[in-house]
Structure 1
Amino acid sequence: MANPNEALVNEPREAILDAAALCFMERGFNATSIDDIARRLSATKGMVYHYFSSKAELFFEIHHRAMDALFEELEPVAASDLPAPERFTEMARRYVHTLIRTQPYQRTVSEAVQMVLRNSTTAEQRDQLTDLQSRRSQCEAMFMAVLEEGMSNGTMQASRPRVSIKPVFGAMNSVINWYHHREGETAEQ
């Protein structure tokens, strides 16, 4: 994420999304106000509302961007000619790297999933989240396809692949909760 003041001038939508993602990560969706987002930017509420009609619109745009970031990294590897075990490993590496690089966005995705599980969403929010949940399933399906290919050619093993993939995602997704950036450290490290 760029310096908020520079980004606000050069790419205001991006700056607002970055600020909102950080606020949602720190305070949660329900506890965050448009005032909080504007304050983080040293901007006005009017500036935020000029680009986004509501806090919910920001929330869902962040979710879309988070998923787009994952697909950008995973699709080329999933479609590559690497052997299945290497492809699976590289996809997992890129997945975790993307989670770390876009952590505030990914934490917002995680909160959206929890909101659905707690049934604390409106009908309109559930409709939007259903579409986004479908994208999450597509992401998992990319990993499943590689695992199944590896199983079919004998290079990978799993007695129950649909069950086996769940702890892999649990471990990878947990990085957004425990990872904390250290000064001078890159996401790759």
Structure 2
Amino acid sequence: MVTGVLAPERLEEILRTAAREFATAGYERASLNRIIRTCGMSKSSFYHYFDSKAALFDAVLRAAMGGLAREVAPPSPAELSGPGFWDELTRTVERVLEVAAREDWYADAGRLFYLPDAPVEHSPAARETVGAMRAWLVGVLEVGRSCGAVRTDLPVALQATLATDVVQSLDRWSLAHSQEYPDAEARATIGRILTDVLRRVLATTVEDQPTA
């Protein structure tokens, strides 16, 4: 549980520090004392705002994923309807890569979903983020199927599961290799590659799939 109110700049400093600590040390080995020292706080002050490691973990995810969503502003499923379906998805992926490269703590927070010891299943913020992503993907699939960009020979539920698994795999890979595409041109190339992988799973026909 998070209690009390911090100045926005101070709160961001703490959450950025915590995101880096969790991402580098793992959830169980992450040290609240190290975070407290780095931020120049007293223990009593820290625990006035965050009463547990789990509360801090949730606060990091809520702030980072909320900020990422505001900066990327992904299109609603309805906005993807039409011939530009895959092009717009590619641009969205490129925007995510660009923002994550500019804001390291978004990337750190993203890595928390894939820590082997992270309490993702017990984290309200993690469950909300994953649920929102899946709901968006389902909406995108429905639009893609209706406009002819996505194949319709698979059950929607199976297709949604496949798409979710592929997106999470691509996300995990891109976070692990984020330092390998530091400039805009490299990120655009990676964005196209990542979208092409998803397209090969979902495209309507062989002719609609990207060429090698």
Aligned 8 A contact 2:111 2:172 in 1: no
Partner of 1:19 in structure 2?
Answer: 17
Deviation of the 1:76 alpha carbon: 4.8
Structure 2: segments with no counterpart, 5+ residues: 1-5, 188-212
Q: Output the CA distance in 1 between the equivalents of 2:14 and 2:8.
A: 12
Partner of 2:178 in structure 1?
Answer: 179
My pick for the range that moved more, 173-182 or 59-68, is 173-182
Q: CA RMSD in A?
A: 3.3
Aligned 1:3-14 pairs, distance under 5 A: 11-14=9-12
TM-score when normalising by structure 1 = 0.70
Partner of 1:168 in structure 2?
Answer: 167
Q: Output the CA distance in 2 between the equivalents of 1:130 and 1:41.
A: 25
Amino acid at match of 2:126: L
Q: Is 1:138 the counterpart of 2:132 in the alignment?
A: yes
Aligned 8 A contact 1:19 1:37 in 2: yes
Amino acid at match of 1:30: E
Partner of 1:106 in structure 2?
Answer: 110
Q: Output the CA distance in 2 between the equivalents of 1:55 and 1:155.
A: 44
Amino acid at match of 1:87: E
Q: Output the CA distance in 2 between the equivalents of 1:74 and 1:9.
A: 25
- Check 1:36–1:179 CA distance in 2 against 1; reply closer, same or farther (3 A cut): same
Among 60, 64, 67, the residue aligned to 1:66: 64
**Where do 4+ consecutive residues of structure 1 move more than 6 Å?**
none
Q: Output the CA distance in 2 between the equivalents of 1:73 and 1:173.
A: 20
- Check 1:167–1:10 CA distance in 2 against 1; reply closer, same or farther (3 A cut): closer
- Check 1:106–1:76 CA distance in 2 against 1; reply closer, same or farther (3 A cut): closer
Amino acid at match of 2:46: V
Deviation of the 1:170 alpha carbon: 1.2
- Check 1:136–1:38 CA distance in 2 against 1; reply closer, same or farther (3 A cut): same
Cα deviation per residue 1:6-52 (whole Å; 9 max; x = unaligned)? xx997211111111111111111211222110232244333422432
TM-score when normalising by structure 2 = 0.63
Partner of 2:75 in structure 1?
Answer: 77
Q: Secondary structure at 2:79's aligned position in 1? A: coil
Amino acid at match of 2:148: G
Partner of 2:151 in structure 1?
Answer: 157
**Structure of greater Rg:** 2
Aligned 8 A contact 1:19 1:41 in 2: yes
Aligned residues: 170
Deviation of the 1:159 alpha carbon: 4.5
Aligned 8 A contact 2:110 2:175 in 1: yes
Cα deviation per residue 1:86-137 (whole Å; 9 max; x = unaligned)? 33223333344445431111122333885457xxxxxxxx2xx256324312
Q: Output the CA distance in 2 between the equivalents of 1:187 and 1:57.
A: 35
